[in-house]
Amino acid sequence: MAKDYYSILGINRDASQAEIKAAYRKLALKFHPDKNPGDPFFEQMFRELKDAYEALSDTNRKKQNDGQNKSKKTTNDPRRASSEPKEPSPTQLVNNIISNLRQMINQTKGASTEQIKTGVISDYLNQILVGDILDLYQFITTGHKRDLVFSIIPLLRFFEQNQRDKYATQLVLIAGSDNELIQEIDKEIKSESSKQKLKNTTSFLVRNWRLVGIIIFIAIVYFSSTGDDSSSSSRPTRRVVVDDEPEIKQTPDYYELARVKKPSKWKGNHLKTGDSPYNHYFGKGVYNKNYENRVKIHNGQGTDVVVCLTQYSSPYRTIRNEYIRAGESFEMTSIPNGTYYLKSFFGNDWNPDTLFIGKVRGFFDTRAGFSKSDNYSDLLKIEQNNYQYSIYEITLYPVSGGNMESESINANEFFNKIE
């Protein structure tokens, strides 16, 4: 059977010549061998893409290829099969990756964290979870994505939390718009982490059983000697220390001070819905008129809010910051493709004079607080292709009945940005 050149380029069979050319240029740029000299994977992928483009851009070859695939007839010529070199397809390359991962899983079964050289695992994960390879995974089937993801997760239990979060981010990108798979990723990573903690504890107890026995013996002796025996004259007494020094109160964050300080002279002050008060800090909003992607946000009645749309992966930039008054809504439009999350700064009585951390001008004087969307399923996977674009409609917490959960963060995390 002829090669499925349409799948290689990630296009439909009714794609126009312009669409074929655009798909080839995009992928050829990502997988060009000059970007990764000496890497056979990129060399092979580039050959596959070039062959697919040449076949589909030539009218006669395209008709011949379509006819062969349609008829599903194969030629069983052993001489031809032996003379032509067999080149791995993208699917075969992914199968090889999955096979390597499963071999690692088998080699680490029953092992504790101390027994594993995590550097070997991280080196391999860093090779297969980079930008260009992540793009490749978008062209494989849903079943292959699941096999790949669940061949990686068991290896993450050997890493610290920050490293697991890093790899979890990349697995979410592989899952794309499959929210069910994203929720399974979150659940499985937590499960694997819990099992590994139990295994590490058990391993420690087994290796140090003598020490554990001595500690238990000492504890038994201690509690036996300090038991509640009213007839004992040597019963120990509690020593009470009275501290007459006044308690030293640590200086809270600005937004905590704002809750207890005297009434603001800016009471009742608002910006307009749609204003971007932090362009001076995060940079001017990123818009692309070629994209129809949009996100509509409804705010509750209690507080105004500044909502930030922030990239979930590198370069982690906050591309929008929008002020929304209490009880009003705002729609972000022309959003470039990508995966994003929301950060919110809510409060009342907007004070334009406040200078926070020496860089940020403007702050809520009362009822100020910060939050971010904290669940993988709450990520905004913005994607426009030849057939559709993304539309999200979000009601923010603490609005009753809101459809996006959030967790509290502090001011420093909200204003954090990658320089």
CB 307 within 8 A of CB 396: yes
Degrees, nearest 5: CA angle 231-233-239: 115
Residue 396's nearest CA partner among 291, 314, 258, 298 is 298
Percentage above 90 pLDDT, the chain = 20
Q: Report CA-CA distances (Å) from 277 to 31, 262, 327, 407.
A: 40, 24, 19, 23
Structure tokens at 417: 């940005």
Burial of 344 (C-beta count, 10 Å sphere; 0-12/13-18/19+): buried
Per-domain residue ranges of the chain: 5-74, 90-203, 257-414
CB 365 within 8 A of CB 333: no
pLDDT confidence of 79, banded at 50, 70, 90?
very low
pLDDT over 70 at 139, yes or no: yes
* 3-state SS class at 280: helix
Q: Report CA-CA distances (Å) from 356 to 369, 411, 412, 415.
A: 14, 9, 10, 10
Lowest mean pLDDT among 172-176, 225-229, 259-263, 399-403: 399-403
Cα(412)–Cα(419) distance, rounded to whole angstroms?
14
Degrees, nearest 5: CA angle 193-187-176: 120
Cα(264)–Cα(315) distance, rounded to whole angstroms?
37
pLDDT over 70 at 239, yes or no: no
Mean pLDDT of the chain: 74
> Averaged over 339-361, what is the pLDDT?
90
pLDDT tens column, 113-131? 666 667 778 878 888 887 6
Residue 384's nearest CA partner among 244, 177, 184, 189 is 177
For 203, other C-beta atoms within 10 Å of its C-beta total 16
Percentage above 70 pLDDT, the chain = 68
Structure tokens at 347: 């409060």
pLDDT of res. 244: 35
pLDDT over 80 at 111, yes or no: no
> Averaged over 170-194, what is the pLDDT?
77
Cα(175)–Cα(186) distance, rounded to whole angstroms?
12
Whose structure tokens read 């296009």?
11
Residue 298's nearest CA partner among 342, 350, 362 is 342
pLDDT of res. 71: 52
pLDDT of res. 194: 61
> Averaged over 140-154, what is the pLDDT?
86
The pTM (predicted TM-score) of the whole model is: 0.49
Cα(174)–Cα(133) distance, rounded to whole angstroms?
10
CB 297 within 8 A of CB 324: yes
Fold of 257-414: Immunoglobulin-like (2.60.40)
Cα(162)–Cα(170) distance, rounded to whole angstroms?
13
Whose structure tokens read 């979870």?
129
Shared fold status for 5-74 and 257-414: no
pLDDT confidence of 254, banded at 50, 70, 90?
very low
pLDDT of res. 348: 93
**Is the domain 5-74 a CATH 3.90.1150.10 member?**
no
pLDDT confidence of 221, banded at 50, 70, 90?
low
Most confident of 185-199, 259-273, 358-372: 358-372
pLDDT of res. 232: 37
Asked whether the bond before 315 is cis by omega within 30 degrees of 0, the reply is: yes
Cβ neighbors of 357 (< 8 A, separation 6 or more) are 411, 412, 415
Question: How far does CA 137 lie from the centroid of its chain?
Answer: 16
pLDDT tens column, 372-391? 886 777 788 888 888 889 99
Residue 321's nearest CA partner among 349, 374, 362 is 362
Lowest mean pLDDT among 143-152, 227-236, 297-306, 320-329: 227-236
Q: Report CA-CA distances (Å) from 264 to 268, 306, 323.
A: 9, 19, 20
pLDDT of res. 224: 59
> Averaged over 61-88, what is the pLDDT?
53
